[in-house]
Amino acid sequence: QKEVEQNSGPLSVPEGAIASLNCTYSDRGSQSFFWYRQYSGKSPELIMFIYSNGDKEDGRFTAQLNKASQYVSLLIRDSQPSDSATYLCAVMYGNKLVFGAGTILRVKS
């Protein structure tokens, strides 16, 4: 069984702080990793993807991948109340995308 684990939270951070979201996965052979954001009652939307070890930055978002330790993380700098959502980590296993249960992020103004 391919697994993707996330802390369900909620993770609470003050406005302007860095939010750090973490995800671990079970299969060392995985090559593709994704972060989706899901607002309450809405569908998931892709915010970042990463294929190689190291960091990938896009605006206030940085995805970090460590294949040796089998974890992927998402950093959100200068967190805003509008970042409050559930963040889903997803890992490609073969031809299937397996999702974690998501971490609830709350940014307090």
Partner 1 sequence: DVKVTQSSRYLVKRTGEKVFLECVQDMDHENMFWYRQDPGLGLRLIYFSYDVKMKEKGDIPEGYSVSREKKERFSLILESASTNQTSMYLCASSPTGGNIQYFGAGTRLSVL
Phi and psi dihedrals of 56, rounded to 5? -135, 125
Distance CA 41, CA 71 (A): 28
CA dihedral of residues 73, 79, 84, 86 (deg, nearest 10) = -10
Tell the smallest beta-carbon distance from residue 78 to partner 1 (Å). Answer: 26
Report the length, in residues, of the chain. 109
Instruction: Please identify, among the stretches 13-21, 64-72, 77-85, 99-107, the one whose residues bind partner 1 according to the rule CB under 8 A.
Output: 99-107
Q: How far is the CB of 17 from partner 1 (least distance, A)?
A: 26
Judged by CB under 8 A, the chain residues 34 through 53 that form the site for partner 1 are 34, 42-46, 49
Q: Which is nearer to partner 1, 49 or 71 (CB)?
A: 49
How many residues touch partner 1 under the rule CB under 8 A: the total is 19
Count of other CB atoms within 10 angstroms of residue 49: 15
Q: Count other C-beta atoms under 10 Å from residue 87's C-beta.
A: 25
Contact between 58 and partner 1 per CB under 8 A = no
Q: Which of 10, 15, 97, 108 binds partner 1 (CB under 8 A)?
A: 97
